[in-house]
A and B are shown apart, each in its own frame.
Chain A
Amino acid sequence: MPCLHLDAAEVSFPGLPAPVLRIPRLEIAAGSQVAVIGPSGSGKSTLVNVITGLARPTQGRVFWDERDIARLSEGARDRWRGANIGLVMQDFHLFPGLSALENVLLPARLARVADGAIRARAGALLSRVGLSRPDQPVETLSRGEMQRVAAARALLRDPGVIVADEPTASLDAENGAVIAGLLLELAAQTGATLIVVTHDQRLISRLPRRIAMADGTVRSDSMAEVRP
């Protein structure tokens, strides 16, 4: 499992006086479970973009183990992300017209890595997250079920890192709790590093480490408090 090491990472946009993200140093150990918290506009999403390779920092380095993904080309970052990061987002991003199973398999198919083993794993993951009908069209699923499908999709390629961006924000309390539990269990089971951006206090309370963001930088880090 890879560990994250940010080194003087900065994201700034022309016309803005201050960088939207400035993290001199941040480490997340392999297999740890981390909550990223903070008000909106504090740079949480930018942080997620940078550590998943969705965006390149303006400056600095983003190491996952020994690899600096900030130096990878766009295509290489896509490939790296596909193989190493499982993403779960607030808006599920499922594609209507396809079944639950097809949605789970879609990114792998588009990346041409969907072999028999992957297909078998997709079915197993769907039943693991509690979806009984893998052939059901996604548009007929409830919101809770949609997020379960999204979770299964994130885990399909057995990523070393699961990044969830407000995974419970568009769910009711009950479904939110189920999804939170599912993510924690799955991460623990596979040993994947779990990074969750969230406002959900109940979810935050279940994560051992909390990184609080404000104004684009890390305001406090529970790990740092423990280990000054």
Chain B
Amino acid sequence: MIRFALADLKRLWAGSVVIVLLVALAVALGVGVTLQERALRLGSARAAEKFDVIVGAPGSETQLVLSAVFLQPAALPLMPGEVLAELNDDPRVEWAAPVGFGDFHAGYPIVGTTTTLIEGTAGGFSRGGMFRTEGEAVVGSAVPLQPGETIVPTHGQVEQGGHEHEGVRYRVSGRLNPTGTPWDRAILVPIQAVWHVHGMGLAPGHDEHGQGQGHGHEDEHAGHDHAGHDAAHENDEAHGHRGLDADAPLDEDWHRGALPGLPAVLVKPRTIADAYRLRQDYRADGRTLAVFPGEVLTSLYATLGDARQVLAVIASGTQLLVAAALLMVTVIHVGQRRRQIGALRAFGAPRSAVFGIVWLELSMLVGLGILLGYGGGYLAASLLSRAFAMQRGFSLPVGFTPEDGATLAILVAAAALLAALPAWLAYRQPPAAALRG
């Protein structure tokens, strides 16, 4: 019977190929949506996993997470610099590190931070080591730079009208191991360098810039719109980048005078209970906002979940349409094969064999289509994830879970049931149709 079914399908190969492809495409669509959504969820959860608590100025929680965890360029409001010193002194805090954004090199974000953060979040160095002076930089694994190479920061992204900081050069001191997070695309420099490049901070002779001006500037340089850029440009010229002293030693003591305003501080609490208390305290306090990135992401997924639902409905709709089209085609096809089916019966094949042949042929086609669809969906999701990883730096792990097995089983069962209808029609066909007329 299998041999006959295969010979039959070979004879009808063009139609068979079309059916397999149709089924494969419809299934791949559904599988791709599921896998990609899961990958996005896992990937972003992994990106946020090292960041227990983020403290920023009151504003959008989502934006704070997107900027601090995913390094999405955006204008973040600033909070007073002394928050950093307070957090560092807090006994519930293991470490707290500032992050400062705004500059780029060849599209890679330059993030001002501290050695503590790099030690606390990255998985060690693949080449070179930590920055030791103000003019050194550590690059993530996705940044195509090697230790010893030079980085010219631009203020904002060039394609959005950013400009080079004249005379400012960082030298790469080390390259980090991959973490699979957006920070793989980051160029990490001492936060003091970011302050000095933008004419803020604690360096001797710069104190007169004071907090107010520092705030305003930081505000603008975080926003990369054109108006902001012009203002920043003037400001930069006024300061003339006198700030960066490439050979200056690192200064990570946050108690010597007023710190410039900060967009975000990453906090590593000692215990989970501490994490909750810290969030409580820094949320109640009018100057700051404290979030658990995981929690913010969860609420973001809830929103994304609606979009996913829409996609899933579209995918199921497509599958339903394909199933309906397939059913129509096979019912017509069985009608066209009345004579062949009748002949089989006339020569003594039992009805059950006729049912079996039609069912087997259709099931084999649809089954093959489903398997190809799973493969295709996986491939598509992997390619998308790879493209995404290249662009965004953080990997979206594509993988099947046991629940996919259940979906597969349901699909196969539905296909088997679907194939039974034309098979039943063939079963009911009178054998006299084999004769002429």
Contact = CB atoms under 8 A, between A and B. Distances in A.
Contact of B340 (A54, A93, A111): A93
Interface stretch (B56-64, B113-121, B341-349): B341-349
B205 interface: no
Contact of B344 (A85, A107, A154): A107
**For the side of the interface on B, what is the size category?**
20 to 34
Contacts of A165: 435-436
Interface string A156-173: 010000000110000000
Contacts of A90: 436
A49 interface: yes
Given A74-B351, A83-B348, A97 B435 contact: no
A48 to B, nearest CB: 7
B435 A48 contact: yes
A82 B430 CA distance: 15
Contacts of A68: none
B432 interface: yes
Nearest to B427: A74
A52 B436 contact: no
B350 A78 contact: yes
Interface string B399-437: 000000000000000000000000000000011101111
Nearest to B430: A55
A102 B3 contact: yes
A98 interface: yes
A78 B7 contact: no
Q: Interface range on chain A: under 10, 10 to 19, 20 to 34, or 35 or more?
A: 35 or more
B346 A54 contact: yes
A98 B282 CA distance: 79
Interface string A36-66: 0000000001001100101100000000000
Contact of A110 (B1, B10, B11): B1
Interface in A102-122: 102, 106-111
Interface in A56-94: 74-75, 78-79, 81-83, 85, 87, 89-91, 93
Interface in A174-210: none
Contacts of A157: 348
Given A49-B432, A49-B435, A89-B435, A95 B350 contact: no
A22 interface: no
A153 B3 CA distance: 18
Contacts of B1: 109-110
A107 B348 contact: yes
A106 B339 CA distance: 16
Given A81-B346, A83-B348, A107-B347, A95 B434 contact: no
A157 B349 CA distance: 12
A168 to B, nearest CB: 14
Contact of A54 (B7, B350, B357, B432): B432
A87 B346 contact: yes
Nearest to B347: A107
A97 B348 contact: no
Contact of B347 (A45, A49, A98, A153): A153
Interface string B316-349: 0000000000000000000000011011111111
A96 interface: yes
Contact of A106 (B4, B342, B431): B4
A110 B3 contact: no
A80 B79 CA distance: 93
Given A45-B435, A54-B431, A54-B432, A98 B4 contact: yes
Contacts of B357: 110
B3 A54 contact: no
Given A95-B4, A97-B11, A111 B349 contact: yes
A95 to B, nearest CB: 7
Say what secondary structure dominates the interface of chain B: helix
B435 A82 contact: no
B8 interface: yes
Contacts of A52: 346
Contact of B8 (A83, A95, A111, A154): A95
A102 B8 CA distance: 13
Contacts of B437: 45
A97 B10 contact: yes
A107 B349 contact: yes
B3 A79 contact: no
B302 interface: no
A166 B10 CA distance: 30
A107 B436 CA distance: 20
Given A45-B436, A54-B431, A55-B430, A98 B348 contact: no
B353 interface: yes
Given A54-B432, A91-B436, A75 B351 contact: yes
B435 A54 contact: yes
Given A45-B436, A91-B436, A109-B1, A82 B7 contact: no
A106 B435 CA distance: 18
A143 B399 CA distance: 56
A108 B348 contact: yes
A3 to B, nearest CB: 21
Contacts of A96: 7, 11
19 contacts: A45-B437, A49-B435, A75-B350, A78-B345, A78-B349, A79-B348, A87-B347, A89-B343, A93-B339, A93-B434, A95-B4, A97-B11, A106-B4, A106-B349, A107-B347, A110-B357, A111-B348, A111-B353, A166-B436
The list of the 9 closest CB pairs from A to B, nearest first, reads A82-B348, A97-B7, A110-B349, A107-B347, A93-B343, A110-B353, A54-B432, A107-B348, A55-B432
Given A93-B346, A97-B6, A102-B3, 18 more contacts: A45-B437, A54-B435, A55-B430, A55-B432, A75-B350, A75-B351, A78-B345, A78-B348, A79-B348, A81-B346, A91-B339, A95-B340, A97-B11, A107-B348, A108-B348, A110-B4, A165-B436, A166-B436
Interface of B: 1, 3-4, 6-8, 10-11, 339-340, 342-351, 353, 357, 430-432, 434-437
